[in-house]
């Protein structure tokens, strides 16, 4: 590339045509004569070659223009610009100036200094350098998530600075470092990187800073442990640390041997999907049934159309007519749908019948003939507007068709004749035996008790027609539930204790159109452009018609001022003429209103690899979102995500990223009038969204960040489409597991305070045994839901400790998702007394375990209960204490395992499945010897694998009154 700054200029003799001029370019280097990069127009390549030969600094940029000339850019001083303009080369846009180049250099220098400052703060773990132009900021490290997949080991880091700016370049540089496991050093080669600001620019004319984030490759699989701590630092001085948590298990949560799966064989259209669930219901009538949803679709059908008057007869193309090509166009639309006779109509503008003819329209059967007017020479004079009026004024013709000018064109162009009649067509390409007209959408209901007594889960797919693999997720989920019911204990538990509603295709018309006519169809097929001011009611616009079903609901809709939908009938996010204008959205509303036991829903879309929940929309001004769920509910969302994503990881180690998990408004964009918001805010249903088609990790860039490739809406079935259906069906099973646990939760949350002493008091947080909303007071009053809420300051931020100065009285209550309350609890801290004599007993909870418990040899084929025990020595100075045992592993929790195999029946302690309470103490105890008994049932039909079955358990001594 040529240098942007020439050190010297030589005398040029520029000869163009017959004119020869002596030109002496001004010398470069003076401040007043520094060069700029400016665009010029030249007539041809020869002129460019001449300018190069004569020593002008011509850049590599060249843009062809419609008139055959070229736009080039040159590095020229003001004097050289004047010379070129004097020679007829017109100057255009200024690309760079000395001032803009100096500003870029200054900005680069500033960023270099900020990066150095941030790295110095990062290394020291405190503020040691601060950008001179900025006040010290506060940095909050929000999350540090570790995961492994097929491409290596990764860490996802998010943090927020109080100095965050909606202008990316104005954000302070933020860096992060991590260790190589407990006790190792933070930072060093391959253990630090720079975070990027995440700015939501979705609202028109507005940007909003949300947080900084990035993903870093930690290493190859198996080359080291999980990092334990992350430190984040800003160039403005803020520093924070956060522990690393595991995002998904390495191999995901598996299914037992013999689990039946992999039932899809190819992509399906709407009819195939409905036929499939109908056949499944007939095969498994005891645990399933099919419903015909009440609102039939508008139909896989179109009015037949053609365009008369064009010089080249219309042959079915899509797109648009440009410029004067639209002037002679006459658009014909049949009154009847294509399958009802519209496709039988023909139309012709006949060639000239001689001089001085008058415009005439005639009809024979379904053949419309237009004889155009001519002048004295026999040339056609009828314009498109005149032909339109003539056809609409002729009753036999107007009974068959409606004529219109092309979109907003005035129709002033003279029409052309067509030698033979043109056949009107609905242009639908589905097989002739595929049903035209309105379609009945079908739903499969699965459950041993389908009477509304069990918690309901609604799974629905293909609101967007082009997302072909989504229906595979619904169909695979349905067939797994039915075919594994008789053999798999988990499946039987799910089907016996949940009520599951599955619609494999919501958008039946759009799916059919996408399958057979226009693959990229997103919306349904209704044509509201027929009455639209844009006038896009011609066959060339047919692929733009339809309503986006996922923008047609009533909560956070475009009609209420929310962002992410359009009023244009051709927009891909057209919300329709009003809320619930479409039968597809009314069907979803009917399901959620009719079956009030539905507490969870999952709307399955493609692509990008997301797991999301409300809120999903916001307004432009102030980025005002729909109300966020409470902190406790968001904890439930996160807990469900952990189960769902671990199941998805199982099939091919596909990781849905932390940055793509969370509220739609925070991780994707605003989707005004979407169905998940409708479910949550209007029906009290936890509304989730999948975006299947996770980006595939392809490598790592120079900065250590992963690179990706995307999958698309309609990936090849083998292997991508098939695999997406499999892995996200796994995710649906994880969601059903979470719903099952919810249905069985019949106790309030157990919440206990946890504190860290400080010079002036304590920093208080809470431990809890399940997702919960916690409300507290510090003035001795009884807490209510109007009291202070223990929660983060904002979305995707971690909750901060509450500082209590001595003396302090804490009272709190807590609620879970079912609003089961813990009641009021009290904790009192008092100031140290003075003038007293005494001694202190340090807080002590000590637990010493004896020899491991051993069941001995298990005998295959023999039904027997085996017993074993170990001992524990307990020392406690607390007012009460509980000794418990639990299984912390993600690999078949509560079951003994032998490699990839697990015993089918759970391990028990004291007759209870894990976690179990071994012993409780109502006061202090010293060197108490407790016996911890275990039992393991082996059935006569239980399959046992050669080798040792074992499990590492966690024994915990805890207290609520330290």
Cα maximum dimension of the chain: 127
- Cα separation, 76 vs 54, whole angstroms: 13
In the structure encoding, which two tokens stand for residue 391, read together?
A: 């056809």
Q: Is the pTM of this model over 0.75?
A: yes
Q: Could you tell me which of 279, 262, 287 has the C-alpha nearest to residue 729?
A: 262
User: Would you state the pLDDT for residue 205?
Assistant: 61
- Cα separation, 284 vs 906, whole angstroms: 29
Residue 6, C-beta contacts closer than 8 angstroms, at least 6 positions apart: 28, 35, 57, 75
Phi, psi of 56 (to 5 degrees): -70, 145
- Cα separation, 903 vs 495, whole angstroms: 22
Which residue stretches of the chain have pLDDT < 70? Answer: 1-32, 107-109, 111, 131-135, 203-205, 533-534, 831-840
- Cα separation, 709 vs 609, whole angstroms: 12
CA distances from 794 to 162, 242, 629, 689 (A): 12, 17, 11, 22
Q: Could you tell me which of 11, 196, 231 has the C-alpha nearest to residue 123?
A: 231
Phi, psi of 664 (to 5 degrees): -55, -45
* Three-class HEC string of 441-504: CEEEEECCCCCCCCEEEEEEECCCCCCHHHHHHHHHHHHHHHHCCCCCHHHHHHHHHEEEEEEC
In the structure encoding, which two tokens stand for residue 73, read together?
A: 């850019």
Q: Could you tell me which of 596, 554, 592, 602 has the C-alpha nearest to residue 575?
A: 554
Q: Could you tell me which of 435, 457, 433 has the C-alpha nearest to residue 446?
A: 457
- Cα separation, 71 vs 64, whole angstroms: 6
CA distances from 92 to 58, 97, 100 (A): 14, 13, 17
Give the DSSP H or E segment for 909.
strand 907-909
Q: Contact, 496 vs 741, CB < 8 A? A: no
Q: What's the number of CA atoms in the CB half-sphere (13 Å) around residue 206? A: 13
Quick check: helix, strand or coil at residue 120? helix
Query: Which runs of E-coded beta strand occur in 163-320?
Result: 174-178, 192-200, 208-219, 229-234, 239-243, 245-246, 288-292, 303-308
CA distances from 417 to 307, 332, 352, 424, 936 (A): 12, 15, 8, 16, 89
In the structure encoding, which two tokens stand for residue 811, read together?
A: 């009272």
Q: Which residues pair with 439 in a beta bridge?
A: none
User: Would you state the pLDDT for residue 839?
Assistant: 60
* Neighbouring C-beta atoms of residue 696, cutoff 10 Å: 17
- Cα separation, 272 vs 275, whole angstroms: 5
Place of tokens 């082009």: 466
- Cα separation, 315 vs 325, whole angstroms: 15
Distance of CA 428 to the CA centre of its chain: 32
Residue 620, C-beta contacts closer than 8 angstroms, at least 6 positions apart: 203, 204, 205, 206, 561, 563
DSSP state of 570: T
In the structure encoding, which two tokens stand for residue 49, read together?
A: 């070659």
Quick check: helix, strand or coil at residue 941? coil
- Cα separation, 700 vs 715, whole angstroms: 24
- Cα separation, 321 vs 289, whole angstroms: 50
Give the DSSP H or E segment for 734.
helix 722-744
- Cα separation, 132 vs 110, whole angstroms: 10
Place of tokens 């020392």: 875
Query: What is the chain's length?
Result: 962
Q: Which residues pair with 456 in a beta bridge?
A: 499, 598
CA distances from 825 to 726, 849, 881, 936 (A): 47, 32, 17, 38
- Cα separation, 655 vs 153, whole angstroms: 11
Q: Where are the alpha helices (DSSP H) in 230-383?
A: 270-283
In the structure encoding, which two tokens stand for residue 902, read together?
A: 């697990």
Check residue 576 and give left, alpha or beta (phi > 0: left; psi -120 to 50: alpha).
Answer: left
CA distances from 642 to 611, 635, 649, 650, 734 (A): 10, 11, 11, 13, 9
Place of tokens 């037992």: 256
The secondary structure of 750-819 as a DSSP string is -EEEEEEEETTEEEEEEEESS--EEEEESBSPPP-TTSEE---SSTT-PPPPEEEESSEEEEEEEE-TT-
User: Would you state the pLDDT for residue 510?
Assistant: 97
Distance in Å from the first CA to the final CA of the chain? 72
Q: Could you tell me which of 935, 795, 764, 959 has the C-alpha nearest to residue 879?
A: 959
Q: Contact, 872 vs 849, CB < 8 A? A: yes
Q: Could you tell me which of 311, 316, 315 has the C-alpha nearest to residue 326?
A: 311
Check residue 191 and give left, alpha or beta (phi > 0: left; psi -120 to 50: alpha).
Answer: alpha
- Cα separation, 892 vs 889, whole angstroms: 7
Asked if residue 807 has a cis previous peptide bond (ω within 30° of 0), the answer is: yes
The dihedral sign for the CA sequence 696, 697, 699, 701? positive
- Strand order across the 912-913 sheet: 845-849, 864-876, 925-938, 907-909, 912-913
User: Would you state the pLDDT for residue 677?
Assistant: 96
Residue 554, judged by CB atoms within 10 A of its CB (0-12, 13-18, 19+), counts as: middle
In the structure encoding, which two tokens stand for residue 214, read together?
A: 């990035």
Residue 731, C-beta contacts closer than 8 angstroms, at least 6 positions apart: 611, 644, 645, 647, 648, 690
Give the DSSP H or E segment for 700.
strand 696-700
User: Would you state the pLDDT for residue 19?
Assistant: 33
Q: Where are the alpha helices (DSSP H) in 70-150?
A: 78-86, 98-124
* Neighbouring C-beta atoms of residue 365, cutoff 10 Å: 10
């Amino acid at each position: 590339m040529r240098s942007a700054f020439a050190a010297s200029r030589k005398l040029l003799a520029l000869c163009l045509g017959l004119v020869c001029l002596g030109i002496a370019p001004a010398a470069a280097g003076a401040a007043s004569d520094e060069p700029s990069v400016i665009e010029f127009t030249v007539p041809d390549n020869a002129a460019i070659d001449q300018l190069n030969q004569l020593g002008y600094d011509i850049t590599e940029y060249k843009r062809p223009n419609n008139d055959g000339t070229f736009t080039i850019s040159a590095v020229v001083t003001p004097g050289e610009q004047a010379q070129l303009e004097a020679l007829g080369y017109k100057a255009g846009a200024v690309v760079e100036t000395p001032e803009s180049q100096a500003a870029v250099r200054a900005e680069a220098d500033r960023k270099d200094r900020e990066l150095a400052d941030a790295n110095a703060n990062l290394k020291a773990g405190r503020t040691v350098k601060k950008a001179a132009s900025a006040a010290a900021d506060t940095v909050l490290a929000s999350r540090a998530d570790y995961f492994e997949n097929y491409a290596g080991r990764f860490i996802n880091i998010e943090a927020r600075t109080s100095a965050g700016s909606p202008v990316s370049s104005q954000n302070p540089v933020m860096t992060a470092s991590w260790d190589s496991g407990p006790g190792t050093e933070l930072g060093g080669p391959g253990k630090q990187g720079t975070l990027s600001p995440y700015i939501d620019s979705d609202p028109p004319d507005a940007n909003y800073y949300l947080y900084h984030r990035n993903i870093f490759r930690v290493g190859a699989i198996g080359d080291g442990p999980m990092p334990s701590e992350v430190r984040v630092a800003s160039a403005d001085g803020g520093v924070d640390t956060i522990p690393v948590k595991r995002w998904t298990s390495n191999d995901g949560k598996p299914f037992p041997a013999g689990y039946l799966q992999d039932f899809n064989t190819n992509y399906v259209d709407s009819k195939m999907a409905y036929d499939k669930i109908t056949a499944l219901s007939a095969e498994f009538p005891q645990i399933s049934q099919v419903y015909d949803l009440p609102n039939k679709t508008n139909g896989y059908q179109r009015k037949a159309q053609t365009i008369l008057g064009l010089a080249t007869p219309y042959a079915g193309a899509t797109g648009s007519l440009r410029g004067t090509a639209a002037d002679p166009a006459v658009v014909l639309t049949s009154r009847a749908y294509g399958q009802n006779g519209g496709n039988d109509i023909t139309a012709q503008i006949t060639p000239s019948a001689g001089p001085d003819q008058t415009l005439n329209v005639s009809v024979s059967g379904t053949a419309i003939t237009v004889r155009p007017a001519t002048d004295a020479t026999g040339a056609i004079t009828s314009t498109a507007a005149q032909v339109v009026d003539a056809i609409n004024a002729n009753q036999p013709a107007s009974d068959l068709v409606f004529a219109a000018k092309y979109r907003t064109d005035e129709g002033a162009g003279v029409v052309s004749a067509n030698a033979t009649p043109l056949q009107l067509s609905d242009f639908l390409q589905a097989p002739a035996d595929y049903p035209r007209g309105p379609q009945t959408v079908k739903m499969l209901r699965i459950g041993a008790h389908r009477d509304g007594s069990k918690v309901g889960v609604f799974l629905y797919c293909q609101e967007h027609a082009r997302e072909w693999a989504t229906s595979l997720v619904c169909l695979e989920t349905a067939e797994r539930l039915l075919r594994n019911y008789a053999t798999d204990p988990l499946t039987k538990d799910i089907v016996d204790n949940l009520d599951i509603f599955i619609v494999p295709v919501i958008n039946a018309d759009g799916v059919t159109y996408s399958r057979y006519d226009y693959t990229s169809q997103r919306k349904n097929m209704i044509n509201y452009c027929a009455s639209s001011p844009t006038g896009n009611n011609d066959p060339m616009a047919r692929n733009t018609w339809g309503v986006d079903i996922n923008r047609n609901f009533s909560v956070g809709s475009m009609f209420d001022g929310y962002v992410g939908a359009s009023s244009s009938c051709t927009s891909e996010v057209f919300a329709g003429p009003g809320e619930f204008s479409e039968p597809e959205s009314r069907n979803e509303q009917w399901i959620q209103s009719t079956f009030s036991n539905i507490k969870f829903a999952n709307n399955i879309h493609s692509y990008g690899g997301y797991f999301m929940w409300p809120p999903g929309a916001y307004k432009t001004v102030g980025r005002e979102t729909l109300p966020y769920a409470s902190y406790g509910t968001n904890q439930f969302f996160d807990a469900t995500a952990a189960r769902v994503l671990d199941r998805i990881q199982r099939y091919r180690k596909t990781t849905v990223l932390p940055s793509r998990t969370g509220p739609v408004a925070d991780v994707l964009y605003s989707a005004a009038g979407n169905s998940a918001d409708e479910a949550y805010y209007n029906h009290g249903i936890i509304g989730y969204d999948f975006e299947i088609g996770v980006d595939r990790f392809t490598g790592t860039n120079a900065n250590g960040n992963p690179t990706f490739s995307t999958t698309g809406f309609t990936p090849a079935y083998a292997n991508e489409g098939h695999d997406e259906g499999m892995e996200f069906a796994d995710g649906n099973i994880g969601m059903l597991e979470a719903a099952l646990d919810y249905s069985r939760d019949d106790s309030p949350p157990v919440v206990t305070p946890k504190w860290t002493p400080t010079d002036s008091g304590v920093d208080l947080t809470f431990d809890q045994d399940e997702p919960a909303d916690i409300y507290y007071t510090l003035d001795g009053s009884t807490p209510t839901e109007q009291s202070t809420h223990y929660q983060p300051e904002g979305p995707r931020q971690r909750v901060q400790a509450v500082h209590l100065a001595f003396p302090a009285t804490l009272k709190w209550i807590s609620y879970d998702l079912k609003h089961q309350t813990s009641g009021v609890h009290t904790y009192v801290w008092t100031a140290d007394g003075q003038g007293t004599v005494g001694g202190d007993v340090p807080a002590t909870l000590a637990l010493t375990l004896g020899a491991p418990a051993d069941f001995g040899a298990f005998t295959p084929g023999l039904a027997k209960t085996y017993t074993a025990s170990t001992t524990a020595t307990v020392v406690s100075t607390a007012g009460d204490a509980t000794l418990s045992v639990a299984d912390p592993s993600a690999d078949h929790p509560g079951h003994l395992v032998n490699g990839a195999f697990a015993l089918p029946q759970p391990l028990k302690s004291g007759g209870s499945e894990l976690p179990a309470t071994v012993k409780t103490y109502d006061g202090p105890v010293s060197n108490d010897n407790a016996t911890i008994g275990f039992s393991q049932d082996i059935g006569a039909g239980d399959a046992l694998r050669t080798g040792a079955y074992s499990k590492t358990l966690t024994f915990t001594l805890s207290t609520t009154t330290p």
